[in-house]
Amino acid sequence: MSWRTIISQAAAIGRSSYLLDVILRNNPIYYSGVRDQLEKFEYQGEDERKLHCDALLERTLRWSAGSSASGRVLADWPILEKSKLRDYPGRYQHSNFLVIPASTGGSTGVPIRVVRSLLNVAAEQAFIDHNLLVTGKNFRTARIAILRDDNFKPPSDQNPPFGKVVYGGRRLILSPQHLNPETIAWYVGALSDFAPDILWIRPSIGEYFAKTLIEKGLFLKIPTILSSSEVLGNAARVFIRQCFASRIIDFYGQAERVSFAYSQSEDEYFFHPAYGHVEFLPHSEETNNGSATADINGTGYWNEAMPLVRYRTGDRVIYPAKYTKRDLALVSLGLKPVQGISGRDGDYVVSPRGEILATLGQLTRNVDHVLRMQIVQTDVNSLKLFVLSAPGFCDADKRRLLENARQKIPLDMLIDIEEIDQLISLPSGKVPFVIRRLSTKLD
Same domain (yes/no): 364, 417: yes
pLDDT of the residue at 107 = 56
Last residue of a domain, one of 342, 373, 391: 342
Q: Which residues of the chain have pLDDT under 70?
A: 1-18, 66-71, 97, 105-109, 287-288, 344-346, 427-430, 439-443
* Inter-CA distances, 219 with 27, 142, 192, 243, Å: 38, 22, 10, 7
Question: Is 299 found in the same domain as 282?
Answer: yes
Distance from C-alpha of 371 to C-alpha of 391, rounded to nearest angstrom: 10
Residues 295 and 354 in one domain: no
Domain final residue pick, 317, 342, 367: 342
Q: What is the pLDDT of residue 329?
A: 97
Judge whether 78 lies within some domain. yes
User: pTM here?
Assistant: 0.84
Q: What is the pLDDT of residue 412?
A: 92
Report if residue 157 sits inside a domain: no
- Note whether 125 and 271 are same-domain residues: yes
306 plus 415 within the same structural domain: no
Cα Rg of the chain (Å, integer): 21
In a domain, 197, yes or no: no
Q: How many residues does the chain have?
A: 443
Domain boundary (325, 342, 359) is at 342
Q: Are residues 268 and 401 in the same domain?
A: no
| Structural domains of the chain, count | 2
Kindly list the distances between the CA atom of residue 252 and the CA atoms of 308, 343, 383, in Å, as whole numbers in the listed order. 18, 9, 28
Determine the pLDDT at residue 67: 57
- pLDDT of 105 reads 63
Same structural domain for residues 295 and 310?
yes
Say if CB 317 and CB 336 are below 8 A apart: no
Buried b (16+ CB within 10 A) or exposed e, 55-82: ebbeebbebbeebeeeeeebeebeebeb
pLDDT value at position 151?
Answer: 78
Domain annotation covers residue 326: yes
Phi and psi at residue 379, in whole multiples of 5°?
A: -155, 165
* pLDDT tens column, 47-68: 999 999 999 999 999 998 765 5
Residues 277 and 418 in one domain: no
Q: Which of 247, 29, 251 is nearest to 127 (CA)?
A: 251
Task: State residue 371's pLDDT score.
Answer: 87
**109 with 18, same domain?**
yes
For residue 71, the model assigns a pLDDT of: 62
Domain CATH for 382: 3.30.300.30
Q: Which domain holds residue 397?
A: 349-436
Residue 332 lies in a domain: yes
**Judgement on whether residues 327 and 411 belong to the same structural domain of the protein:** no
Based on the domain organization, do 287 and 359 belong to the same domain?
A: no
**Same domain for 367 and 309:** no
Nearest alpha-carbon partner for 307 in 25, 127, 74, 6: 74
| Residue 367 counted as domain residue | yes
